[in-house]
Structure 1
Amino acid sequence: MDTDCECIVIGAGVVGLAIAAKLAAAGRDVLVLEGEAHFGTITSARNSEVIHAGIYYPAGSLKARLCVEGRDALYRYCADHQIEHAQCGKLIVATSTSQLEQLESIQQRALVNGVSDIRLLAAEEAMSMEPQLKCLGALHSPSTGIIDTHGLMLSLLGEGERFGAALATHSPVASMSHDVASGVYTVNVVGENAMSLTTRHVINAAGHGACALAAPLLASTSQAKVTPVLSKGNYFRLSGKAPFSRLIYPVPEQGGLGVHITIDLGGQARFGPDVEPVNEENYSVDPARSAGFYAAVREYWPGLPDDSLAPDYAGIRPKIEVDGELYTDFMIQSPADHGMPGLINLFGVESPGLTACLAIADDVHRLMPD
């Protein structure tokens, strides 16, 4: 049975675009469907734009492996394709004696994950590197960096199109169905570009919508129930000059990496994200949340001036639960998992998804049949 397209990638965030570029370069016929007016306007445009080193993740997890592989691949890609980035490094700082013990645990986890350049610093050395910093000790990660995410996505789209991939925006996917006899999937697009497309391969990289799209297809399988959990992160920008030359992170907190300072490629400093559980997508930033930011930031930067933080933007982490329990790793479901040929689902691709995007694309490519 003929189909409209060999492969359909649902979602044109940084991960979907990386997958499309990889598959197209391998000779696949690829169509990317994106519900928004432009690529990468939701999760991929609402993060810290950090190239993570691979420090925090449990040994043997997908996040640990794909972050380290993806970090190295991303730095190479940026150099080869002139993507603006900076390997500025970061300090993870302890502001209490209990956090000093946590720094040692974080260092050991990083070393197990293959982050070999991480180094424990005494307070004096850390504060000499960043004179406005206050801490009792720190970890220095020189392989952490920042990146122009939009430039990266534009390049990935261009790479995909160079090998024949196509992007259709204003094309939200409402549902999918599978014909067992033929092995063909029908992907139903609604809205101004309403249509039904047939394909033998679906890569579901729909971010917040990935679970809902996959649920009807997985209902007849033995797969555990995967549901989305929305965790909002708010950012505030700093008026005035950035106080640090490196990224500064506190010791991680429950649900996130704590309110940290990142510096963009234009030299603007921002703080965030915090952790705000939400029931629906809402990207407004409540100015009143700045009170918590001032308190958190002054733990490591006492010199933060009053009235210097302004609401910037918010993002929502696409976390997931499996059978009602929070699942903290990436989940890449292949036919070997659910028994449905041609379907690959990507669930829970939160941070470090940006860093890992090229490595995720490699994994998806390896899961595709010849």
Structure 2
Amino acid sequence: MEQADALVIGAGAVGLAVAKHLAEAGREVIVLEAEDAIGTQTSSRNSEVIHAGFYYGTDTLKAKLCVRGKELLYEYCDSRGIAYNRCGKIVTATTDAQIPKLEDYIRQGQMNGVDDLRLMTPEEVRTLEPEVFCKKGLWSPSTGIVDSHAYMLALEGDLTNRGGVVALESRVTGLDVSHQRAGSGDLIVQVDDLKLAAKTVVNCAGLYAPDVARKTKGLSPDHVPTPYYAIGHYYVLSGKAPFSRLIYPIATGLGLGIHVSVDMGGQCKFGPDARWIEGVDYHFDDSRRDEFVRSIKAYYPGLDESRLHKGYTGIRPKIGKPEDGYLDFVINGEQVHGIKGLVNLYGIDSPGLTSSLAIGEYVANMLTQ
């Protein structure tokens, strides 16, 4: 049996950020990635937004890690020369009835330490973005976008520079933590035909994190949530982008609404919507187009539908049913399940990319306490 120090399962943004922090703490880290490249799932199928942190309840991990992660991410991008655009975001109230929600966001932001939000009149909004219709807007200057692929490559580079390894096409097929319970201190990870004995295992498998945990011998099923999946579609707009900032509707239901983002290449895209699905399937359902057009025209009435084209889909890793409403990140360590050295991360959906460095910091601190 091969010996290892710290194993991280999953080479998405969160897994790589965790690995970076562990390596900086002096650990010898191997990242196990099932696919043939890093960041091929949730980390590369999103809006690439750096969120400010005003959507989430003050005492939640999402609030704390988003606000902290935003600061760390901007600093990291500056230090590594990673492309980003602190372009700001306008949240639009398109009816009078929605205006109080903007005021709620400001109050929640202040409670979370986001103190740069302000209301805008329709005239102020149009000064910045002439194509936007709203009754009132909320301006979030610290929101931005990032080149997520360059970010993940930088994290991988930091890891390898400290002697760490990213092992691609290394699918974890089972774990055994019963030896640790018996006092040997080893966590056994099965990777295809290879067995690895490690002191630390961090499960950052994203969509597949509950599946990995469910295959863990010695871990009570009471500590493994049922996975649920919410797919989101993105449409792209051909030609010159009509916006230079992020434009969002009021958040309703499952996600933050069909919003506008302009990536680092200048491509304007709309999405995601949100629909529950049974399993991981990235099929693009173009019948969603009519819903997109209706939603977009609420704040962008000048939309030329002929410029709207199929983009891509992404899947959010959920750990609750549709009727369960808001769900926080779940990061379970020894304090929860009683297994020294094992950390499971569940339900790391939005703002996971923004929070990734803060999550890495949080997990590393958990493992040194």
TM-score range, shorter chain: over 0.9
TM-score by length of 1: 0.95
What SS does structure 2 have at the residue aligned with 1:307? helix
CA deviations over 1:273-311 (Å, ceiling 9, x no partner): 000110011112122211111110000000001222111
Shift of 1:227: 1.1
Q: Is the aligned partner of 1:77 residue 2:76?
A: yes
Q: Check whether the contact 1:228–1:321 (CA below 8 A) recurs between aligned residues.
A: yes
Match in the other structure for 2:332: 333
TM-score by length of 2: 0.96
Q: 1: CA distance between counterparts of 2:334 and 2:2?
A: 20
Match in the other structure for 2:270: 271
Match in the other structure for 1:240: 239
Q: 2: CA distance between counterparts of 1:212 and 1:219?
A: 15
What SS does structure 2 have at the residue aligned with 1:102? helix
Q: 2: CA distance between counterparts of 1:22 and 1:78?
A: 16
Q: Would the alpha carbon gap of residues 218 and 189 (structure 1) be closer, same or farther in structure 2, given more than 3 Å must change?
A: closer
Q: Percent identity?
A: 44
Match in the other structure for 1:37: 36
What SS does structure 1 have at the residue aligned with 2:239? coil
Shift of 1:327: 5.9
Q: 2: CA distance between counterparts of 1:327 and 1:99?
A: 20
Shift of 1:225: 4.5
Match in the other structure for 2:205: 206
Q: 2: CA distance between counterparts of 1:154 and 1:113?
A: 30
Q: 1: CA distance between counterparts of 2:300 and 2:221?
A: 51
Match in the other structure for 1:126: 125
Measured on the aligned residues, the alpha-carbon RMSD in Å equals: 1.6
What SS does structure 1 have at the residue aligned with 2:319? strand
Q: 1: CA distance between counterparts of 2:329 and 2:338?
A: 19
Q: 1: CA distance between counterparts of 2:45 and 2:142?
A: 22
Shift of 1:126: 1.1
Shift of 1:14: 0.4
Q: 1: CA distance between counterparts of 2:311 and 2:158?
A: 31
Q: Check whether the contact 1:218–1:338 (CA below 8 A) recurs between aligned residues.
A: no
Deviates more, 1:121-130 or 1:32-41: 121-130
Deviates more, 1:59-68 or 1:211-220: 211-220
Deviates more, 1:100-109 or 1:6-15: 100-109
How do residues 284-299 of structure 1 correspond to structure 2 at under 5 angstroms?
284-299=283-298
Deviates more, 1:143-152 or 1:327-336: 327-336
Match in the other structure for 1:185: 187
Q: 2: CA distance between counterparts of 1:281 and 1:206?
A: 13
Q: 2: CA distance between counterparts of 1:269 and 1:325?
A: 32
Q: Would the alpha carbon gap of residues 158 and 106 (structure 1) be closer, same or farther in structure 2, given more than 3 Å must change?
A: same
Letter matched to residue 344 of structure 1: V
Q: Check whether the contact 1:286–1:311 (CA below 8 A) recurs between aligned residues.
A: no
Match in the other structure for 1:67: 66
Letter matched to residue 190 of structure 2: N
Q: 1: CA distance between counterparts of 2:325 and 2:37?
A: 31
Letter matched to residue 266 of structure 1: G
Shift of 1:223: 3.9
Q: 2: CA distance between counterparts of 1:327 and 1:264?
A: 28
Count residues in correspondence: 365
Match in the other structure for 1:96: 95
Q: 2: CA distance between counterparts of 1:100 and 1:64?
A: 22
Q: Check whether the contact 2:219–2:337 (CA below 8 A) recurs between aligned residues.
A: no
Q: 1: CA distance between counterparts of 2:164 and 2:290?
A: 47
Letter matched to residue 123 of structure 2: E
Q: 2: CA distance between counterparts of 1:368 and 1:101?
A: 42
Q: 1: CA distance between counterparts of 2:219 and 2:169?
A: 31
Q: Would the alpha carbon gap of residues 47 and 67 (structure 1) be closer, same or farther in structure 2, given more than 3 Å must change?
A: same
What SS does structure 2 have at the residue aligned with 1:266? coil
Give the unaligned 5+ runs of structure 2.
Answer: none
Q: 2: CA distance between counterparts of 1:279 and 1:318?
A: 12
CA deviations over 1:37-92 (Å, ceiling 9, x no partner): 00000000000001001010111100000000000010000000000001000100
Match in the other structure for 2:343: 344
Deviates more, 1:245-254 or 1:279-288: 279-288
Q: Check whether the contact 1:222–1:338 (CA below 8 A) recurs between aligned residues.
A: no
Q: Check whether the contact 1:18–1:156 (CA below 8 A) recurs between aligned residues.
A: yes
Match in the other structure for 2:258: 259
What SS does structure 2 have at the residue aligned with 1:227? coil
Deviates more, 1:41-50 or 1:214-223: 214-223
Letter matched to residue 184 of structure 1: D
Q: 2: CA distance between counterparts of 1:74 and 1:220?
A: 33
Q: Is the aligned partner of 1:135 residue 2:134?
A: yes
Match in the other structure for 2:145: 146
Q: 1: CA distance between counterparts of 2:103 and 2:12?
A: 35
Letter matched to residue 160 of structure 1: L
Give the unaligned 5+ runs of structure 1.
Answer: none
Q: 1: CA distance between counterparts of 2:143 and 2:350?
A: 14
Match in the other structure for 2:17: 18
CA deviations over 1:20-51 (Å, ceiling 9, x no partner): 11111111011100000000000000000010
